[in-house]
Structure 1
Amino acid sequence: MDAPIVIRLGQRARQRIATEGLQALDVAIVPAAAGGPKGLILHGIDKWLFGEWLPAAPRERRLIGASIGAWRMAASALADPVAAHKRLAHYYTHQTYPDKVDAAYVSRTVRALLDDVLDGHGGEALRHPLHRLAVITARGIGPLADTRGVRWREMAGFLLAAAGNAVSRARLAQAMERVVFHDARDDSAWLREQFDAFGTAFAALDETNLHAALVASGSIPLVLEAVTDIPGAPPGTYWDGGLIDYHLHLPYRRDPGLVLYPHFTDYIVPGWLDKSLPWRRVKDAALDNMVLVSPSPSFLARLPNGKMPDRADFQRYGQNHAARIRDWTFAIGESERMAETLARWAEKPDLKLASGF
């Protein structure tokens, strides 16, 4: 049977593993992509990674994510990460919506979902002895600086942003900036020197803004309401962090350690608006120290509908919530096979089974 995972290695990561093996102690950064329900396919790996493998080799690590990736990393930073990931998978899968729904309804549902996932333990993510959480959001500037919750303003602003992005990422940087909400014990120095066209602001996470930052990081334009004026952060309107950092193309090579990236696909594009632009796929030195793990095509082919869960399923299944929940639950269960295979590979890496970027 074909392997359920695909492994890609940057050149520096390959050299290090060839001489030293894959050591949990070498893992310095764990990124987590935006992507909504697609992140559920990494459930098995998340439980193994944060419940078994990494705790056996304690060291300070940066956990950085956008949208559902930020939620996954927040769950990973709680005192009982396995229980937190189980809550995330359960409550995310069981969210349901009526046939006609507005952004206010979706936002209320998402805020309640996050409450259920954190289960009153959100502060643990700020006090973890070793994990340093970072949550990526996108703050509107220019035409998106103040849409005042008016749908036509939002639509016009994002249409202009999308048109600009089709020309270049630098054009998108005229409509939004990255805001990183980071663990107060880690100044995120590796992100502070300019590395792309986007302005980047930083805000320390605390009890007053953690929930709002996590909601903002997953606030898809026109689907959810924007989050405004988050405590401790620059004033303004905040949206889904995946708009700028969909797959988190960040300057990882600035860290001497390894980047272990469980991902739902085997390539990286910078922003959400780039996902239909194959020429924007990244193959640069930023990935030199990365170990990227994703589901294989043969694994996905065996899932319901021949694919992982995605946001289009809400329309595909319509009001047949039971069928969607059944199929998503099956896919989440199958993700355990990915974790088992990765655990075996980590114990004895076979570099012949790993490709480059």
Structure 2
Amino acid sequence: MSAPALRFLAGPSAYAAIRQHGFDPQAITAMVGASGGPKFLGLYHLDRAILRHFQRWYAGRTRPLHLLGSSIGAWRFANYARRDPVAAFDRLWALYGDYEWTRAHDSARVTADTEALIERVLGPTGGTEILAHPYMRLHVVAARGRGLASLSDKRTLGRLGFGAGLAATAGLNLVDRRTLGLFFERTILSDPRGRVPGDWRPLPTRRASLRADNLLDALMATVAIPFLIDAREIPYAPRGRYRDGGIVDYHFAVPDLAAAGEMVFYPHFSAEVTPGWFDKALKGRRADARVLDRTLIVCPSDAFLASLPMGKIPDRHDFERHDNATRKDLWRRTVAATERLAEEFDRTIEADGLAARLEPIS
């Protein structure tokens, strides 16, 4: 018998509720989508399977389901809230997976290519569909620069100043994550029909409305990796230059995204939840069971990851590691392998077997 492809982990309250009463999808009131660029391909068919179950679980639902994402997580959830979400995922994979990158591409070229990609995925009706969804409420996180981190990196002096700001951010973050607020302010661009809950302390946080005429800017800002994709201004949001939302919320270590008796559903590519991008190398800085008290994480197992063509899910360094033809082939084979995740998720849900497979988050 092959090793399981999926793991199901839950914080204390979610664990107790599922073990005692079984898995109740109606208890889900929020979902989280992490940063990670091409890592979303490691969840490709799992996302599609989840969406198929949503059609059954939530037919006629009007109670809000908050979709909170940074970077590629926001792009995934923009697709979730489409009229035909599976077709939107297929467009994203086709365009993203087929991208031709060379070392000659500068940030202006990558920015233009990225904008053209998301415009094609959204199409002429994307913004209207997302903001009119009967129950899904999209929330996009971006990081607004402050001080040196607010400088433009388009000119030499600005690049030097902005680089110094990033270096200071990284250095001070080693001491205390709260210092991140000196250089970046979290901005949550939300569907105006409802605010996402959560205890967003201690980082400074502002809110703005997501609109059909600033959705593209928000989705570009949240993937604006420094020195790779240009910072973005967002109309109807606090004035400034916005960058990748993963800087402040890489995997979202945010308490109280769901109220008592409710649940956060987190399809994730890892069993670990890392607060911010600058925390990646800090093994002691991971969200614990208290922060994830009402969270259910569904993620690939280590055995599944080891079985993939690259022994891991895709990441953006694959663009540099492989030529375009090799990378595309590896990614296609990886995406095909994620059908196993979807099949196992389907079997577990349909057999009402999630409670038996549940692991507590340590």
TM-score by length of 2: 0.93
Q: Deviations over 1:238-271 (max 9, x none)?
A: 0000001000112235423111100010010100
Contact 1:143 1:175 in 2 (8 A): yes
- Residues of 2 paired with 1:221 and 1:168: CA distance? 22
Q: Does 1:328 align with 2:331?
A: yes
Contact 2:221 2:231 in 1 (8 A): yes
Q: Which amino acid aligns with 1:344?
A: R
Q: Does 1:33 align with 2:38?
A: no
Note the C-alpha offset of 1:156.
1.5
Contact 1:226 1:239 in 2 (8 A): yes
Moved over 6 A (4+): none
Note the C-alpha offset of 1:151.
2.2
- Alignment correspondent of 2:117: 113
Note the C-alpha offset of 1:225.
0.7
Task: For residue 29 of structure 1, give the secondary structure of its aligned residue in structure 2.
Answer: strand
- Alignment correspondent of 2:13: 12
Change beyond 3 A, Cα 1:161–1:327: same
Equivalent in 165, 172, 193 of residue 173 of structure 2:
165
Contact 1:155 1:222 in 2 (8 A): no
CA RMSD of aligned residues (A): 1.5
Equivalent in 187, 193, 214 of residue 195 of structure 2:
187
Note the C-alpha offset of 1:51.
3.1
Q: Which amino acid aligns with 1:314?
A: F
Contact 1:11 1:289 in 2 (8 A): yes
Note the C-alpha offset of 1:214.
0.4
- Residues of 2 paired with 1:11 and 1:170: CA distance? 26
- The percent of aligned pairs where both chains have the same amino acid is 36
- Residues of 1 paired with 2:75 and 2:133: CA distance? 16
Change beyond 3 A, Cα 1:102–1:353: same
Q: Which moved more, 1:148-157 or 1:232-241?
A: 148-157
Task: For residue 267 of structure 1, give the secondary structure of its aligned residue in structure 2.
Answer: coil
Q: Which moved more, 1:18-27 or 1:306-315?
A: 18-27
- Residues of 1 paired with 2:289 and 2:19: CA distance? 21
Q: Does 1:128 align with 2:161?
A: no
Q: Which amino acid aligns with 2:126?
A: G
Structure 2 counterparts to residues 211-222 of structure 1, below 5 A:
211-222=216-227
- Alignment correspondent of 1:291: 296
Q: Does 1:353 align with 2:357?
A: yes
Task: For residue 212 of structure 1, give the secondary structure of its aligned residue in structure 2.
Answer: helix
Change beyond 3 A, Cα 1:253–1:115: closer
- Residues of 2 paired with 1:42 and 1:305: CA distance? 15
Q: Deviations over 1:184-211 (max 9, x none)?
A: 10033x24xx532211111111111100
Note the C-alpha offset of 1:27.
1.2
Note the C-alpha offset of 1:139.
0.3
Note the C-alpha offset of 1:55.
4.7
Change beyond 3 A, Cα 1:177–1:104: same
Task: For residue 305 of structure 1, give the secondary structure of its aligned residue in structure 2.
Answer: coil
- Residues of 1 paired with 2:258 and 2:45: CA distance? 29
Q: Which amino acid aligns with 1:120?
A: P
Q: Which amino acid aligns with 2:291?
A: A
Structure 2 counterparts to residues 58-69 of structure 1, below 5 A:
58=61, 59-69=63-73
Note the C-alpha offset of 1:300.
1.0
TM-score by length of 1: 0.94
- Alignment correspondent of 2:254: 250
Q: Deviations over 1:53-91 (max 9, x none)?
A: 355323420011000000000000000011011111111
Q: Which moved more, 1:73-82 or 1:112-121?
A: 112-121
Q: Which amino acid aligns with 2:18?
A: I
Change beyond 3 A, Cα 1:226–1:350: closer
Q: Give structure 2 stretches of 5+ with no counterpart.
A: none
Equivalent in 198, 203, 210 of residue 198 of structure 1:
203
Structure 2 counterparts to residues 265-304 of structure 1, below 5 A:
265-304=270-309
- Residues of 2 paired with 1:83 and 1:26: CA distance? 27
- Alignment correspondent of 1:56: 57
Q: Give structure 1 stretches of 5+ with no counterpart.
A: none
Q: Which amino acid aligns with 2:105?
A: V
Change beyond 3 A, Cα 1:252–1:46: farther
Note the C-alpha offset of 1:350.
4.6
- Alignment correspondent of 1:81: 85
Note the C-alpha offset of 1:343.
2.2
Equivalent in 335, 338, 346 of residue 343 of structure 1:
346
Task: For residue 264 of structure 1, give the secondary structure of its aligned residue in structure 2.
Answer: coil
Q: Does 1:175 align with 2:194?
A: no
Note the C-alpha offset of 1:158.
0.8
Contact 1:154 1:222 in 2 (8 A): no
- Residues of 2 paired with 1:20 and 1:158: CA distance? 47
Q: Deviations over 1:9-60 (max 9, x none)?
A: 1111112112321122121111100000111111112112123335532342
- Residues of 2 paired with 1:73 and 1:165: CA distance? 29
- Alignment correspondent of 2:45: 44
